[in-house]
Amino acid sequence: MRQTNRLSDGGRIDRSKPMTFSFNGNQYSGYEGDTLSSALIANGVNVIGRSFKYGRPRGIVAAGADEPNAIVQLGATEATQVPNVRATQQPLFDGLVSQPTSGWPSLKFDLLGFSGQLFGRALPPGFYYKTFMFPQAAWKFYEKHIRKAAGLGRSPTEPDVDEYDHLNQHTDVLIVGAGPAGLSAALTAARSGAHVILADEQAEMGGSLLSSRSRINGAEASQWVADTLQELAGMDNVLLLPNATVNGYHDHNFLTIHERRTDHLGDRAPENQTRQRMHRVRADWVVLATGAHERPLVYANNDLPGCMLASAVSTYIRRYAVIPGHSLVAMTTNDAGYQAAFDWQDAGRNVVALVDTRQAPTGDCVEEARRRGIRLLIGHAVIEAKGSTRVSAARVAPLSEDGQHLTGPAEKLACDTIASSGGWSPAVHLSCHTGGRPVWNDEVIGFVPGESLQRQSIAGAIAGTFDLAGCLEQGTQQGAEAARQAGYEAKPASLPTVEEPATGNAMALFCIPHEQRISRAPKQFVDFQNDVTAAAIELATREGFESIEHVKRYTALGFGTDQGKLGNINGMAIAAKSMNKTIAETGTTIFRPNYTPVTFGAIAGRHCDDLFDPERHTAMHDWHVRHGALFENVGQWKRPWYYPKPGETMQQSLDRECLATRNGVGILDASTLGKIDIQGKDAREFIGRVYTNAWAKLAVGKCRYGLMCGEDGMVFDDGVTSCLGEEHFLMTTTTGGAAHVLEWLELYHQTEWPELEVYMNTVTDHWATMTIAGPDSRKLLAELTDDIDLDKESFKFMDWRQGTVADVPARVFRISFTGELSYEINVPANYGLDVWEALFEKGERYNLTPYGTETMHILRAEKGFIIAGQDTDGSMHPYDLGLDWAVKEDKPYSFIGKRGMKREDCLRQDRKQLVGLKTKDPSIVLPEGAQAVDDPKQPVPMTMLGHVTSSYYSANLGRSIAMGVIRGGHQRSGETVYYPLSDGRVVEAEITSTLFLDPKGERQNV
Amino acid sequence: MSELQTDTRVSIMNQMPEAGVTARSALYFSQAATQPVFGPGQAQVFLWEDALRGQLVIRGDAGNTDFAKGVSSALDLALPGQLSSSVSATMALLWIAPDEWLLLCDLEQAFAIETRLRDALTGHYAVINVSGGQTQIRLAGSAAASVLQKSMPYAVSDAHFPVGKVVTTALSKTQATVRRIDSTDWELTVRRSFADYAWRWLTDASREYGLHLGQPEHNEN
């Protein structure tokens, strides 16, 4: 297809590399070096989308990050869909597939469109609040349709096929923006030897110099760019990052850069390459050389396709060799706007008029315009654009000196493009991210960064320096300063010579008056993405919204994905004028990260799929996998849940595992339990202070159960601690609580009792722990050890012994979480699997059965053993749990929680207390979490007594068992409570002891 | 027969098993499940487990000269200061925290060294055998530093992380004690239970540079 708007020469595109692409289902062609927007302009595509609220046709306005309209959906396949891409920032590649995101149901004709009024009346400023919030239920309906019409793009329905990652960077100097100021800053800083990262959001570095008419060192400015980049690229201490947007500026000079590594190459990233990378940069010094965004002028119907920024017109012509129309009217308040007219004329097309709002402009550009014979309308403005889907004329009228009134009748000038320049707004965004507030500068006619809160400086247009010589000088200065700040010595650099036109003063003008007042005039758009008009802002101030933050929220000014880069300052100026204030008094809203939208892929990086969260494995993990275990996540550990045999239901597996353990011997991988080695002469004293029970007399070789409470007296962890030596203990914790318990111990040691001589170390991972439980466990262990006396009189319940198990040095603890005869065998983890397999070799004749966490839960519940975190929830003290025996109140030194559990509320008799529960119908297993009531017939909301904390079917008992809390439950043994369930059933249960099996504890003492 | 020893103060044990027991390092199964991306000729990253090292945690007060002298006389190694290490032919002593060091040694020597330490030290100190609880992943090659940049927030430049430095920091979502052994040779000490995750993370991060599982050919280490 012919590129009707492509110039025959010039530009930075490569005409030897043609490319095809599609937009909205149509095929077009472009060249390497194009952006999607320049290629669309080359093909004469005017209408890119329709507006959100009024459905008005919209075209390309800008050439960079400030573009509000040309937001497209990219992706040739479902898996490679990317929403919210600015066509102005998307490099063209062969085969690119793009769709408009706005304009449901179609670009050419849509529901909202044509009259532009279907929704318009229903969407006044503040429409979210006024119209849609009530009735609340209707919001869901509105939102669906508003989102669809708003053109927000869509997320892919298939997983992303590309990879994204993160890279941490540390640098002396980070320079943001590779225009004249950024490049000269980088050069100066890098020559000092400082490590420099230079990041720029565009595919090609150079910024405004790539389309500038000015000359540096007697040559085209782009030559200086090329020379500078070549020198920088040759330096080891420089990292150049093109296609990389510095999107977030966080505290402590931590910045995030979104680098698009392969988005310019194709729909998918090449193999073994990451598509996008998030650089997480910690910089000693930052130079913001982010430039400025040109402000369009606000006039009637200024959203018609063909209305563009003056600088964008120049950029398209000079950099991309495309011309967005045939006949141009350019309006400007300053000299920069003249360049568009000159470039247009040089491209061989017709400049209808150059409209300057100033009464007596001076400067080289004005002279040149006269010399070129361009029709110059001084003291005039374009008050209105005419046309339906494209500009067909501009209405131009004379303007008062202050720009606030028209002083004569309008003239209609036929044209298809209106370029406007209202001056330049420094791109202060990053300077705001950490809390800096921009300040208004009358000379700049814009907000410039206020006092910096970071180790950071600014250079170039962001500082309000708009001339090239000034930008180069400031860049050099700030580059040297950055190097100095980072500890390097920067040599004074000679500045390049610059030829650029001398400029006259600019005029502060934002909204062009119309013959009719703002509320009556055709719409004058301020924010294109959210269809915010000058009239809407006026209305908001009339309705009493005086803070600029409120105006923003009420009108949705700057709420779009462009964050109001184009319209914010104009909107603030209009608000200020309408309130008879100065812009400085009105102030500005500020920006937060991210500067431009970032893909979720780049945010997630490689933290996805099986690398999303660490999986912790025990030394026997591979065995569990090979033996068909299903796993349960406990903290980050993968614990075997149960080991189903072919054809078994879960309950059948659990029944088999439970019965085998109670009747023979079962084995559990208990390696995940936290293990803390405690050494030091005060170890015993320390343990006595963190546990509720007594430790003073525990002899070497003995083990004891302990409860750990917070200061509030509430149980948060429990476990068995063994006395390994007079000054040496091994504490065990719950699997999930291990890290917290160690931190808790360290906290108390370091802050409260630093005088105690004790060292705590985690040995959780060092010891592989296997629990053999059941009446045959002693016989099994006897087959594997000959140096531990297993006689029941010498190796008693709650003793531990050191010896050799399966030829491996081991500590064996005769403790039990099942109520059975049980041994916990600890061996160094390197030999864990070998010992485990040796146990199975010898265990075959005892039908040694592996069991998982679910069977462990059932077996311990049969004995009424609690699980901290399941049967407790941070509101239960030891007495609530019936564990009075585990509190020793007369220890010489207090213990953590002693005072807390004696608070008045903790002594109430009607607290929720842990009890056993037996359903009247033994086959019904109560759901955990079910709430007990005394009278199931009472009206809702019922008076609830407490909930079920643990509930299982016990094959050993042939019935269901449960534990739960009941108000005053310890006094209610034998009474009946009712559990109304969500399905309408009411389950009747008797309050019992939590000891369902072997209440005298005889099984573990054999 | 293993030597069993329990004094009344602390319980220490020679943890070496009888001959014939199979030791499996933390990454025994993970390594077998990993595919290299390129051969050693093209790879810029070399990754292997320095498996089954002896590892002792030593706790004490660096300001206590008796402790510092006791450690260095027992090990014939200076007690390293903050973020540094001392190295001999068979041992490396790594600073971990103001009152904590990690000794890497031959696994067979761990008990003898622990005994020497306990003989040389008095007062308040602790020695803990953690040989099975963590492992050493070695990362070498011209792109090793880039892999670390992807994995941890700490700076790896020559200036910030010279050879011999030791830093305990976040490695993706787990933790590692990172020691720079040589300009392109790094040692990462990771917890046993997290080792598989760390290994999978590192192999994934290495892929774009070309990954070879094993040592570089010139490295005799």
Q: Hey, are the CB atoms on A614 and B155 less than 8 Å from each other?
A: no
Distance, CA of A177 to CA of A462 (rounded, Å): 10
Name the residue range of residue B156's domain: 26-52+133-214
Distance, CA of A229 to CA of B169 (rounded, Å): 36
Indicate the helix (H) or strand (E) that contains A601.
helix A600-604
Q: Any alpha helices (H) in A214-305, and if so which ranges?
A: 221-233
- Please, are residues A251 and A271 in contact by the beta-carbon 8 Å criterion? no
Q: Name the DSSP letter for residue A128.
A: I
**Residue A38: inside a domain, yes or no?**
yes
Calculate mean pLDDT across residues B125-150.
98
Confidence of residue A113 (pLDDT cuts 50, 70, 90): very low
Calculate mean pLDDT across residues A12-24.
97
Q: Answer yes or no: do A194 and A208 share one domain.
A: yes
> For B30, which residue in chain A has the nearest alpha carbon?
A622
Residue in B1, B133, B207 closest to A829 by CB: B133
* Structural domains of chain B, count: 2
Q: Answer yes or no: do B155 and B210 share one domain.
A: yes
Is the pLDDT reported for residue A1006 higher than 70?
A: yes
Confidence of residue A138 (pLDDT cuts 50, 70, 90): low
Q: Answer yes or no: do B87 and B141 share one domain.
A: no
Is the pLDDT reported for residue A241 higher than 80?
A: yes
* Range with lowest mean pLDDT among A106-120, A187-201, A597-611, A956-970: A106-120
Is the pLDDT reported for residue B14 higher than 90?
A: yes
Q: Answer yes or no: do A478 and A442 share one domain.
A: yes
Is the pLDDT reported for residue A236 higher than 90?
A: yes
Residue in B8, B18, B192 closest to A807 by CB: B18
Distance, CA of A1004 to CA of B130 (rounded, Å): 32
Q: Answer yes or no: do B44 and B59 share one domain.
A: no
Tell me which chain B residues have a C-beta less than 8 angstroms from the C-beta of A757. Answer: 124
Beta A96-100 vs A71-74: how paired, if at all? antiparallel
**Residue A362: inside a domain, yes or no?**
yes
Which phi-psi region, left, alpha or beta, contains residue A507 (left: φ > 0; alpha: ψ -120 to 50)?
A: beta
**Residue B8: inside a domain, yes or no?**
no
**Residue A955: inside a domain, yes or no?**
no
Beta B4-6 vs A986-992: how paired, if at all? unpaired
**Residue B9: inside a domain, yes or no?**
no
Give residue B218's pLDDT.
Answer: 63
**Residue A968: inside a domain, yes or no?**
no
Distance from CA of A312 to the nearest CA of B (A): 38
Distance from CA of A399 to the nearest CA of B (A): 59
Q: Which residues contact B212 (CB under 8 A, 6 or more apart)?
A: B36, B37, B38, B39, B40, B43, B45, B46, B47, B141
Beta A715-725 vs A703-709: how paired, if at all? antiparallel
Tell me which chain B residues have a C-beta less than 8 angstroms from the C-beta of A274. Answer: 208
pTM exceeds 0.80: yes
Tens digits of residue pLDDT in A682-713: 999 999 999 999 999 999 999 999 999 999 99
Q: Answer yes or no: do A20 and A142 share one domain.
A: yes
Distance, CA of A372 to CA of A350 (rounded, Å): 12
Distance from CA of A481 to the nearest CA of B (A): 21
Is the pLDDT reported for residue A141 higher than 90?
A: no
**Residue A159: inside a domain, yes or no?**
no
Q: Which residues contact A356 (CB under 8 A, 6 or more apart)?
A: A331, A332, A333, A337, A366, A376, A377, A378, A379, A380
**CATH number of domain containing B101:** 3.30.70.1520
> For B175, which residue in chain A has the nearest alpha carbon?
A614
Mark which of B94, B113, B130 sits at the end of a domain.
B130
Higher pLDDT, A238 or A114: A238
Distance, CA of A46 to CA of A306 (rounded, Å): 7
Name the residue range of residue A194's domain: 164-292+426-499
Q: Hey, are the CB atoms on A762 and B133 less than 8 Å from each other?
A: yes
A356: amino acid identity, one letter: D
Q: Answer yes or no: do B170 and B190 share one domain.
A: yes
Q: What's the length of chain B?
A: 221
* Structural domains of chain A, count: 4
Residue in B8, B14, B129 closest to A726 by CB: B8
Tens digits of residue pLDDT in A265-310: 999 999 888 999 999 999 999 999 999 999 999 999 999 999 999 9
Q: Answer yes or no: do A219 and A132 share one domain.
A: no
Residue in B7, B10, B13 closest to A679 by CB: B10
Q: Hey, are the CB atoms on B132 and A764 less than 8 Å from each other?
A: no
Q: Answer yes or no: do B124 and B186 share one domain.
A: no
Indicate the helix (H) or strand (E) that contains A835.
helix A832-843
Q: Answer yes or no: do A119 and A179 share one domain.
A: no
Tens digits of residue pLDDT in A747-806: 999 999 999 999 999 999 999 999 999 999 999 999 999 999 999 999 999 999 999 999
Confidence of residue B6 (pLDDT cuts 50, 70, 90): very low
CA distances to A614, B148, B172 from A165, in Å: 17, 13, 11
Give residue A140's pLDDT.
Answer: 64
Confidence of residue A108 (pLDDT cuts 50, 70, 90): low
Q: Burial code of A757-784, b = ≥16 C-beta within 10 A, e = fewer?
A: bbbbbbbbbbbbbbbbbbbbbbbbbeeb
Q: Answer yes or no: do B47 and B58 share one domain.
A: no
Q: Answer yes or no: do A50 and A113 share one domain.
A: yes
* Range with lowest mean pLDDT among A333-347, A549-563, B113-127: A549-563
Token pair for A439: 């300040």
Token pair for A523: 């719409």
Beta A14-23 vs A96-100: how paired, if at all? parallel
Tens digits of residue pLDDT in A861-885: 999 999 999 999 999 999 999 999 9
**CATH number of domain containing A331:** 3.50.50.60
In what order do the strands lie in the sheet containing B53-59?
A: B85-87, B92-97, B100-106, B53-59, B126-129
CB atoms within 10 A of CB A502: 11
Confidence of residue A115 (pLDDT cuts 50, 70, 90): very low
To test the contact with chain B by mutation, choose from A639, A759, A760, A811 the residue with the greatest count of B C-beta atoms within 10 A, namely A759
**CATH number of domain containing A22:** 3.10.20.440
**Residue B19: inside a domain, yes or no?**
no
Q: Answer yes or no: do A571 and A543 share one domain.
A: yes
Residue in A165, A681, A765 closest to B192 by CB: A765
Is the pLDDT reported for residue B2 higher than 60?
A: no
Tell me which chain A residues have a C-beta less than 8 angstroms from the C-beta of B194. Answer: 614, 616
CB atoms within 10 A of CB A331: 30
Q: Answer yes or no: do B46 and B73 share one domain.
A: no
- Please, are residues A689 and A894 in contact by the beta-carbon 8 Å criterion? yes
> For B172, which residue in chain A has the nearest alpha carbon?
A607
Q: Answer yes or no: do B97 and B141 share one domain.
A: no
> For A756, which residue in chain B has the nearest alpha carbon?
B124
**CATH number of domain containing B168:** 3.30.1360.120
Mark which of B99, B114, B130 sits at the end of a domain.
B130
Q: Hey, are the CB atoms on B200 and A610 less than 8 Å from each other?
A: yes
**Residue B88: inside a domain, yes or no?**
yes
Mark which of A545, A562, A595 sits at the end of a domain.
A595
- Count A/B contacts: CB-CB distance under 8 Å: 177
Is the pLDDT reported for residue A317 higher than 50?
A: yes
Q: Answer yes or no: do B61 and B167 share one domain.
A: no
Q: Answer yes or no: do A235 and A171 share one domain.
A: yes
Calculate mean pLDDT across residues B127-151.
98
Q: Answer yes or no: do B141 and B201 share one domain.
A: yes
Mark which of A469, A499, A529 sits at the end of a domain.
A499
| CB of A756 less than 8 A from some CB of B | no
Mark which of B64, B96, B130 sits at the end of a domain.
B130
Give residue A589's pLDDT.
Answer: 87
Give residue B7's pLDDT.
Answer: 60
Give residue B1's pLDDT.
Answer: 35
**CATH number of domain containing A579:** 1.10.10.1100
Tens digits of residue pLDDT in A499-554: 999 999 999 999 999 999 999 999 999 999 889 999 999 999 999 998 999 999 99
**Residue B86: inside a domain, yes or no?**
yes
Q: Hey, are the CB atoms on B149 and A169 less than 8 Å from each other?
A: yes
Is the pLDDT reported for residue A989 higher than 90?
A: yes
Q: Answer yes or no: do A371 and A494 share one domain.
A: no
Q: Answer yes or no: do A403 and A433 share one domain.
A: no
Torsion sign, CA atoms B33, B36, B40, B46: negative
To test the contact with chain B by mutation, choose from A765, A802, A831 the residue with the greatest count of B C-beta atoms within 10 A, namely A765
Tens digits of residue pLDDT in A474-483: 999 999 999 9
**Residue B18: inside a domain, yes or no?**
no
Calculate mean pLDDT across residues A366-371.
97
Q: Answer yes or no: do B108 and B170 share one domain.
A: no
Q: Answer yes or no: do A132 and A172 share one domain.
A: no
Q: Answer yes or no: do B70 and B90 share one domain.
A: yes
Q: Answer yes or no: do A120 and A44 share one domain.
A: yes
Tell me what percent of the residues of chain A surpass a pLDDT of 90. Answer: 90
Tell me which chain A residues have a C-beta less than 8 angstroms from the C-beta of B145. Answer: none
